[in-house]
Amino acid sequence: MNDPEQHFLPALVLVDTPGGPQMNPVPMCKEFSLHLWELGYRRQSELATKKFQRPYRGDQGTFNPAGKWVPLSTPDPEPVRIPDIKQLTEEENEAMLQQYRDAGMIPEAPPVDNFAEIVEIKR
């Protein structure tokens, strides 16, 4: 990676701190990356002792604090598998829909007022 603003970006956006991960704004990280580049620093992957482990769930961007820096030997977590609803039975799909309703993620349908209005036409 020979773009000075991008060279150190992966290491600067999410930094481990004693209080938890610190998420730094990308524009600021680009400035820091350029600064380090201009000072002669270069990343040497063969010397790394840590790797970035992507978030195990949710947004896969760098601003998800579930992502973290871990020792190189740390195995990556098993990916979360989302079921293919076309392969589920009708009962299984209904059970999943009910879970969404119970969690408030699918609102209850408003009641339908079945009524007729009689309008008299005067002649």
The answer as to whether 110 is a domain residue is no
The answer as to whether 123 is a domain residue is no
Length of the chain: 123
What pLDDT is recorded for position 2? 86
Amino acid (one-letter) located at 19 = G
Low-confidence ranges of the chain (pLDDT < 50): none
Q: For 77-87, what is each residue's pLDDT tens digit?
A: 888 889 999 99
What pLDDT is recorded for position 88? 96
The answer as to whether 89 is a domain residue is no
**Which sign, positive or negative, has the C-alpha torsion 41, 42, 47, 48?**
positive
Residue pair 21/54 in contact (Cβ under 8 Å)? The answer is no
Q: In terms of residue numbers, what domain contains 22? A: 4-71
The answer as to whether 62 is a domain residue is yes
Q: What is the mean pLDDT of the chain?
A: 88
The answer as to whether 90 is a domain residue is no
Domain count, the chain: 1
**Which sign, positive or negative, has the C-alpha torsion 17, 21, 22, 24?**
positive
